[in-house]
Structure 1
Amino acid sequence: MTMLETSTTATESLTRRERVVLAELAEDVTLEEIATRLFVTRNTVKSQVRSVYRKIGVSTRTDAVAWARAHGIR
């Protein structure tokens, strides 16, 4: 599997909500603020963030935001 195929697979494996959370991470807001915006708990956002990180193969918010921008997610 090539790097492009891997990133395409990762992009496709994200749920709609995970894409929303990933886009929100690019904003200068806390997880609590993201949770408030999305009408969920902070723990729900934390779980979704962990899932996104695992699926796209990153371990930091900075890396996740860079990955999102490179893949056209806000």
Structure 2
Amino acid sequence: MSNLALVPEPGCTEPGAEPPIEPPVTSLTRRELIVLDNLAEDVTLEAIASKLWVSRNTVKSQVRSVYRKIGVGTRADAVAWANAAGLR
């Protein structure tokens, strides 16, 4: 048996515990953070686009980029991630 299996991950409190999730907030652009913040509101992508003075397709691209960077696939998951990361 290897001793490596007994060494906890950095930041873990006990052996075998999952390492804490560190949100990739710094990898999100300023605009992606703004779009992510707007996703929490009960508005359409069209409304977000209008508010930010860009096209709906631009917002769609930014939303896809946010989802990819934070590892989620739905708007609800993105909002939950933002809440957990302390962005909301």
Q: Secondary structure at the match of 2:80?
A: helix
User: Higher RCO, 1 or 2 (CA under 8 Å, sep at least 6)?
Assistant: 1
Instruction: Within 5 Å, give how 1:13-52 maps onto structure 2.
Output: 13-52=27-66
**Who is 2:14 aligned against?**
none
Q: Which runs of 5+ in 1 are unaligned?
A: none
CA RMSD of aligned residues (A): 1.3
Instruction: Return the alpha-carbon distance in structure 2 between the equivalents of residues 22 and 31 of structure 1.
Output: 11
SS at match of 2:59: helix
TM-score (ref. length: structure 2): 0.76
Residue segments in structure 2 that go unaligned for 5+ positions in a row = 1-8, 10-18
Q: Which has the larger radius of gyration?
A: 2
**How far off its partner does 1:4 sit?**
2.9
Aligned: 1:73 with 2:81: no
Identity, % of aligned positions: 69
Normalised by the size of structure 1, how large is the TM-score? 0.89
Q: Secondary structure in 2 aligned to 1:40?
A: coil
Whole-angstrom CA distance in 2 between matches of 1:54 and 1:3: 20
Measure the CA separation in 1 of the matches of 2:70 and 2:76: 13
Q: 2:71 aligns with which of 22, 36, 57?
A: 57
More helix by share: 1
